Chain A
Amino acid sequence: MSAPQSLMRRLAASPSAVAGGIIVALHLVAMLVAVVGITPYPPAEQHPESRLQGPSGAFLLGTDQFGRDVLSRVLDGVRLSLQVSIVAVAIAAVIGSTVGLAAGFFGRRFDSVTMRVADVFFAFPAILLALAIVTALGPGWRNTAIAIAVVYTPIFARVARGPVLSLRTREYVEAAEGLGFHPARILVVHILPNVAAAIIVQVSLALSWAILTESSLSFLGLGAQPPQASLGLMISDSRVLAATAWWNFAAPAVVVAALVIGFNMFGDGLRDALDPTRENR
């Protein structure tokens, strides 16, 4: 049986991975709907005659104070959240893992310098660091993505470095060296596949944190700018209306929570499925 097949089998056996996977898949569908542009209404279209209406046949999740369709805005908000988070995590994963692999493999001064820099980043709370970077760069989804990428890059460096440190003293890595293999070959062919599992799990977990960070930034008015639909911004705009028009508040809040929990559960399931101690070929 090939490795991907057995991985799918083990994922399917994990309730956490299945539940998380379903939640994530639903949101990816939502993202697709918004990307293709088949939301019930254009997300920014105002219907002044029907402001702050509760859920109805015409507006499934009701309308906000400008008469915009909450469902359409939530769908578009999911698209924006995922777009920012996926771009940010992709950047962080590629740069962070490369630095971490190199630090662990080549060690010495490069290792100490990069890890001290990572420590400096870790010293700041994630949201504070992201806030500072967005403030410096200015709002907009690209800058938000860059800020989130910077915040999570050191985590990937750490995650990649750890296993490399233990792998490079493994006898088979030393044997590869003794057989005259080039260090690049040893790193890519013999070390990377063993680190990949940890990085993949981290991607899933980082996506959940990135979504939370993105929402927090928009909530604080530093991420997406109105009239763009953003989950954080929607929560922020509707929190004073929570008592009168709760659907305005509840819809984006539930979606953010579901996304964060979904990615987290999927990441946990993935970690168990990829755990080499449970590996049996």
Chain B
Amino acid sequence: MTAAVSVRELSRTFRRGRRSAAVQALRGVSLSIEPGETLGVVGESGCGKSTLARLIARLDEPTTGTIEILGDDVTHMHGQELRQLRRSVQMVFQDPYASLNPRRRVGTAVEEVLKVHKLADSPAARTERVDELLGLVGLDPGLASRYPTELSGGQRQRVGIARALAIEPSIVIFDESVSSLDVSVQAEIINLMVALREQLDLTYVFISHDLGVVRHIADRIAVMYVGSIQELGTWRQVSDDPVHPYTRALLSAVPHMRLDDQAGPQETPVLGEIPNPADPPSGCAFHPRCPHATALCSEERPALRAVADRLVACHLAAEIVEQ
């Protein structure tokens, strides 16, 4: 079966002006996502997860590497071809306050998508489809005549989802799409996403800094740190039985609510700061903060290897598993 998304050795380097140092936002990321699957991507801010999302959505072009969507190489598409690709891949943005044009009514915003892609034959059919889409994301079709400023954050994010779904894509990328919402609203939106995934056979890429949120929706989780994947496995493996010291540290930062006072794997919280991506540490990027680091870790960058049924980029993975 063709993968929905397949990226190989993806790198993206940002350069501000000629003299300043290049920032390697993404350093050789490879992964593939099967149709119908949801891949969660987690990591601290600046780890390159949003860059990865923007590259898969082709809102940005990689410096090196390839991106395949449904078997087609889309790495360097542009113009009309790229606009056609948008029919398959859609993105829902982080900030529901900024991702809608404040001057356009909700209905107009959704209808515009149908108009541009000629997805309904008549104005009447368009209006009907707009109502249908608003209903699909759990909004009262009566809200179509409102301006975005009159809606709550959760409602706006639903409009963002309705706009993305208007195109009938097969892949939807959520870039921190629930991060700016209240916890209760987050849960509602995630339930909506799960329901839509079943109903419309969608493939999701779900980007978040919050592992606690990601494990509710993802089939597999990729943990990123300073531009590369550290651990990639099923949500159960990654969230209940992590191997990489960074994943463990990240998990210990997720608040737990258990009566037996037995939080997940105990690990000391991460010390120190996230390294400057313009000047990443030698070897394993995590070694300056890692409690297990050895001399090898500062010299050689660990490859992503299969350890305990998942992929881990750590020289000491095998020893950690044995413990």
Do the beta carbons of A172 and B116 come within 8 Å of each other? no
Is the CB of B101 closer than 8 A to any CB of chain A?
Answer: yes
**Among B37-45, B91-99, B291-299, the stretch in contact with A:** B91-99
Chain A residue at minimum C-beta to C-beta distance from B58 = A178
Do the beta carbons of B103 and A180 come within 8 Å of each other? no
Contacts A180-B117, A190-B101, A281-B149 given: A175-B87 contact, CB under 8 Å?
no
Do the beta carbons of B98 and A170 come within 8 Å of each other? yes
**Cα–Cα, bound, A172→B113 (Å):** 13
Contacts A178-B90, A180-B117 given: A171-B149 contact, CB under 8 Å?
no
Chain B residue at minimum C-beta to C-beta distance from A174 = B59
Q: Which of A130-184 contact B (CB under 8 A)?
A: 170-172, 174-182
**Cα–Cα, bound, A189→B111 (Å):** 14
Contacts A171-B93, A172-B100 given: A180-B59 contact, CB under 8 Å?
no
What are the residues of chain B within 8 A of A189 when measuring CB–CB?
112
Closest CB of chain A to B153's CB: distance in Å?
A: 14
Is the CB of A125 closer than 8 A to any CB of chain B?
Answer: no
Closest CB of chain A to B177's CB: distance in Å?
A: 12
What are the residues of chain B within 8 A of A175 when measuring CB–CB?
91, 93, 99-100, 160, 163
What are the residues of chain B within 8 A of A281 when measuring CB–CB?
147, 149-150
Do the beta carbons of A171 and B86 come within 8 Å of each other? no
Is the CB of A193 closer than 8 A to any CB of chain B?
Answer: yes
Interface flags, B125-168, vs A, CB<8A=1, else 0: 00000000000000000000001011000000000100110010
Please give the number of chain B residues whose Cβ is less than 8 angstroms from any Cβ of chain A in the complex. 30
What are the residues of chain B within 8 A of A47 when measuring CB–CB?
none
What are the residues of chain B within 8 A of A179 when measuring CB–CB?
86, 90, 113, 116, 163-164, 167
Is the CB of A50 closer than 8 A to any CB of chain B?
Answer: no
Is the CB of A194 closer than 8 A to any CB of chain B?
Answer: yes
What are the residues of chain B within 8 A of A194 when measuring CB–CB?
103
**Cα–Cα, bound, A181→B90 (Å):** 12
Closest CB of chain A to B179's CB: distance in Å?
A: 13
Closest CB of chain B to A166's CB: distance in Å?
A: 12
**Cα–Cα, bound, A10→B103 (Å):** 18
**Cα–Cα, bound, A205→B112 (Å):** 35
Is the CB of B268 closer than 8 A to any CB of chain A?
Answer: no
**Among the interface residues B84, B90, B116, B167, which one has the most CB atoms of the partner chain A within 10 A?**
B116
Do the beta carbons of A180 and B84 come within 8 Å of each other? yes
**Cα–Cα, bound, A185→B93 (Å):** 20
Is the CB of B232 closer than 8 A to any CB of chain A?
Answer: no
**Cα–Cα, bound, A148→B198 (Å):** 64
Do the beta carbons of B101 and A172 come within 8 Å of each other? yes
Is the CB of B83 closer than 8 A to any CB of chain A?
Answer: yes
Please give the number of chain A residues whose Cβ is less than 8 angstroms from any Cβ of chain B in the complex. 18
**Cα–Cα, bound, A25→B187 (Å):** 58
What are the residues of chain A within 8 A of B85 when measuring CB–CB?
180
**Cα–Cα, bound, A174→B101 (Å):** 11
Do the beta carbons of B59 and A177 come within 8 Å of each other? yes
Contacts between chains A and B (CB distance < 8 A), count: 56
Q: Out of B84, B86, B150, name the residue touching A178 (CB < 8 Å).
A: B86
Is the CB of B57 closer than 8 A to any CB of chain A?
Answer: yes
**Cα–Cα, bound, A126→B229 (Å):** 58
**Cα–Cα, bound, A42→B147 (Å):** 56
What are the residues of chain A within 8 A of B84 when measuring CB–CB?
180
What are the residues of chain B within 8 A of A176 when measuring CB–CB?
101
Closest CB of chain A to B106's CB: distance in Å?
A: 13
**Cα–Cα, bound, A222→B84 (Å):** 58
**Cα–Cα, bound, A193→B103 (Å):** 8
Q: Which of B1-47 contact A (CB under 8 A)?
A: none
**Cα–Cα, bound, A230→B91 (Å):** 61
What are the residues of chain B within 8 A of A190 when measuring CB–CB?
101
Do the beta carbons of B99 and A180 come within 8 Å of each other? no
Do the beta carbons of A180 and B98 come within 8 Å of each other? no
Do the beta carbons of B101 and A178 come within 8 Å of each other? no
Closest CB of chain B to A218's CB: distance in Å?
A: 42
What are the residues of chain B within 8 A of A193 when measuring CB–CB?
103
Do the beta carbons of A180 and B83 come within 8 Å of each other? yes
Interface flags, B262-294, vs A, CB<8A=1, else 0: 000000000000000000000000000000000
**Cα–Cα, bound, A175→B86 (Å):** 11
Do the beta carbons of A178 and B57 come within 8 Å of each other? yes
Q: Which of B74-92 contact A (CB under 8 A)?
A: 82-87, 90-91
What are the residues of chain B within 8 A of A181 when measuring CB–CB?
83, 112, 116
**Cα–Cα, bound, A176→B90 (Å):** 11
**Cα–Cα, bound, A171→B102 (Å):** 11
Do the beta carbons of B101 and A180 come within 8 Å of each other? no
Do the beta carbons of B116 and A185 come within 8 Å of each other? yes
Chain A residue at minimum C-beta to C-beta distance from B113 = A179
The 7 closest A-B pairs by CB, nearest first: A180-B86, A171-B98, A180-B83, A171-B99, A172-B101, A175-B99, A178-B91
- Chain B residues near A (Cβ < 8 Å): 57, 59, 82-87, 90-91, 93-95, 98-103, 112-113, 116-117, 147, 149-150, 160, 163-164, 167
- Chain A residues near B (Cβ < 8 Å): 170-172, 174-182, 185, 189-190, 193-194, 281
Please, could you name 11 A-B residue pairs with CB atoms under 8 Å apart, sorted by A? A171-B93, A171-B95, A172-B99, A172-B100, A172-B102, A176-B101, A178-B91, A179-B90, A182-B116, A189-B112, A193-B103
Beyond the given pairs A174-B93, A175-B100, A181-B116, 19 more chain A to chain B contacts, judged by CB atoms under 8 angstroms and listed by A's residue number, are A171-B98, A171-B99, A172-B99, A172-B101, A172-B102, A175-B163, A178-B57, A179-B90, A179-B116, A179-B163, A179-B167, A180-B82, A180-B87, A180-B116, A181-B83, A181-B112, A182-B83, A194-B103, A281-B149
